[in-house]
Amino acid sequence: MTFQNTAALAGPELILAISALLMLVWGAFQSRANVFFTVAAMVALAAAAIAAVVGPHGRGFNGGIIVDDASSFAKVVIYLASAVAIPLGERWFARRGMVRFEFPILVMLAALGMGMMVSAGDLISLYISIELQSLALYILAAFHKDNEKSAEAGLKYFVLGALSSGILLYGASLVYGFAGSTHFDAISHAMAASHGGGLGALFGLVFVICGVAFKVSAAPFHMWTPDVYEGAPTPVVGFFAGAPKLAAMVLLARVISQAFGGDVAQWRQILVIMALLSVAVGAFAGLAQKNLKRLWAYSSIAGIGYALVGLAAGGADGIQSMLMFMVLYVIDVTGFFACLAALSRGGKAMETFADFAGLIRERPALAISMTVFALSGIGLPPISGLWGKYYVFKAAAGAGLAPVAIAALVGSVVAAYYYLRLIKVMWLDASPGATDAPPMEARLVTYGAALFACPVVLIALIYLDPLARAAATALALP
């Protein structure tokens, strides 16, 4: 493949990398951050999303990068979610006197890593892309450096992330040792020729899955999630609770379907166990939470469990259900954390259940939006959460995993308690006092996400479903 064709395949990544480097150099000569960095970063992300849609498909860098319908689909969602996170974060930091030009650059670098993750075609590009997005997220978690909880969140995320990287590398070395190649296609052929590659290759598969499971906070690798969510700045949590999880799930789908597509019986057991553990931990541990950021951490753990149920089904239907669930989840989590970022009382962030008492009388539009996101988390019709779970449970039942789908549904019923509790507090409890006026950009994102999560999503699904099916077909082996 010529250099021009390879460069065309990596068009979105080149746009983000060059833009980030230019902005970094420009920022070094600026005495303070300004709106230029926010606008430039959003424009670069929008241009990368367009390049992902109109760019060519194929393989580049000796097969290390794969550009197909799946990667294009995921990149558009990732880049748009990243573009939304930048103004939310900038204004949140501005209200606290902490604006720094590095924030939009770090978001772009994280998006660059995520874009590479969904296009990874071998174990080397897999590891490099994960580390690129992880390093940016470690810094973002500790971005409020004068806050003890934020610094602690960044340190915990970094230490446990280093542990997961070691597990991932060990698994990758085992797979390479037994398959003789790092490329997914070559691994698949080697596994088929040796009838599973032996015990060592299966151990490598387990370690690779465990390393990726940390990135999506799937149980039992979720231990970092509640503390990091609570300590990190609110808009930062809203960012890395959405797009990075989608990127990691697409990467996991590519690994198990394209590198280990012939070993469904082995990896399905692992995914089912992690899925059920995630749903159980997210449902029952969330019942004891009083802080909404910690609560949503456990909600996200349960959400990843549902996505893993769909992925465990295998095939195009299973991958499609995972993609649909994750896209709708990204919209919900972005809207919910936009609400949290918008609300404060006396300059102090509102994060506990008590803080949201009587919100319907103080900020009715935001209270209604949060109610929509809570009902979406429950999965009540016709809100988006219902359709995400519908796709997942339908795929699981079609693959003979009906008992797993039923168990996940029971976990969803348990988790409904803490969503209903939030609604009850906002609508029925007495307000402790007036809230501060929310910023316009947070309200726009919140209302837009709430509108999409409402019945309008039914119209959107008509167009989203064929896109997700095409992406799933690109990922799944025939």
Q: Note the pLDDT of residue 478.
A: 44
* Integer CA distances (angstroms), 418 to 129, 276, 377, 411, in order: 36, 19, 10, 12
For 364, what's the count of Cα atoms within 13 Å in the CB-facing half-sphere?
1
Residues lower than pLDDT 50 in the chain:
478
Q: Note the pLDDT of residue 201.
A: 80
Q: Note the pLDDT of residue 433.
A: 78
Nearest alpha carbon to residue 353 among 340, 334, 335:
340
Task: Describe the crossing of helices 440-453 and 456-475 by its angle, rounded to 10 degrees.
Answer: 80
How many residues make up the chain in this entry? Answer: 478
Q: What is the 3-state secondary structure (H, E, C) of 103-115?
A: HHHHHHHHHHHHH
Q: What is the DSSP string of 29-54?
A: T-SS--HHHHHHHHHHHHHHHHHHHH
* Integer CA distances (angstroms), 152 to 109, 145, 155, 220, 245, in order: 22, 9, 5, 21, 22
Q: Note the pLDDT of residue 49.
A: 95
CB-CB contact of 316 with 476 (8 Å): yes
pLDDT in tens, 374-419: 888 888 887 888 888 999 999 999 999 999 999 999 999 999 999 9
CB-CB contact of 207 with 167 (8 Å): yes
Q: What is the pTM of this model?
A: 0.93
* Integer CA distances (angstroms), 129 to 133, 249, 312, in order: 6, 14, 24
H/E run at residue 351: none
Residue with tokens 């969510």: 229
Q: Give every CB contact of residue 32 below 8 A, 6+ residues apart in sequence.
A: 99, 101
Q: Note the pLDDT of residue 467.
A: 83
Instruction: Give the type of residue at 460.
Output: A
- What is the distance between the alpha carbons of residues 303 and 167, in angstroms, rounded to a whole number? 24
